[in-house]
Amino acid sequence: MQQKLPQQAGDDTLVAMPPVVVPVKLRQLGFDGAHLDRLDCLAEEVPVALVYNGISHAVMMASPAHLEDFARGFSLSEGIIEKAGEIRDVEILPHAKGIELKIDLAPESFWRLKERRRTIAGRTGCGLCGLDSLEAVARDLPKIDGQQKISLHAIERALQALPAAQVFNQQAHALHAAAYADAAGTLLLVREDVGRHNALDKLVGAAGRAGIDPASGFCVITSRCSVEMVQKTVIAGFPILVSVSAPTQMAAKVADEAGLTLLALAREDSALIVTHPQRIATSGEHDK
Instruction: Give the Cα separation of 152 and 163 in Å (integer).
Output: 18
Instruction: Give the Cα separation of 170 and 107 in Å (integer).
Output: 42
Q: What is the pLDDT of residue 133?
A: 56
Query: Active-site residue among 126, 129, 219, 225?
Result: 126
Active site residue 225: no
Measuring CA to CA, how many Å separate 123 from each of 55, 115, 129, 131?
Answer: 20, 13, 6, 10
Given a cut of 70, whether residue 6 has pLDDT beyond it is no
Ranges of each domain in the chain: 2-107, 108-137, 150-281
Q: What is the pLDDT of residue 191?
A: 98
pLDDT tens, position by position, 91-129 = 999 999 999 999 999 998 998 888 766 554 443 444 434
Count the Cβ atoms, other than its own, within 10 Å of residue 247: 25
pLDDT tens, position by position, 183-203 = 999 999 999 999 999 999 999
pLDDT tens, position by position, 205-239 = 999 999 999 999 999 999 999 999 999 999 999 99
Q: CA triplet 152, 73, 186: central angle to 5 degrees?
A: 25
Q: What is the pLDDT of residue 134?
A: 59
Reply yes or no on domain 2-107 having CATH 3.40.30.10: no
Instruction: Give the Cα separation of 104 and 68 in Å (integer).
Output: 12
Contact 18, 46 (CB under 8 A): yes
Homologous superfamily of domain range 150-281? Cytidine Deaminase, domain 2 (3.40.140.10)
pLDDT tens, position by position, 16-66 = 999 999 999 999 999 999 999 999 999 999 999 999 999 999 999 999 999
β-partners of residue 23 are 41
Given a cut of 90, whether residue 154 has pLDDT beyond it is yes
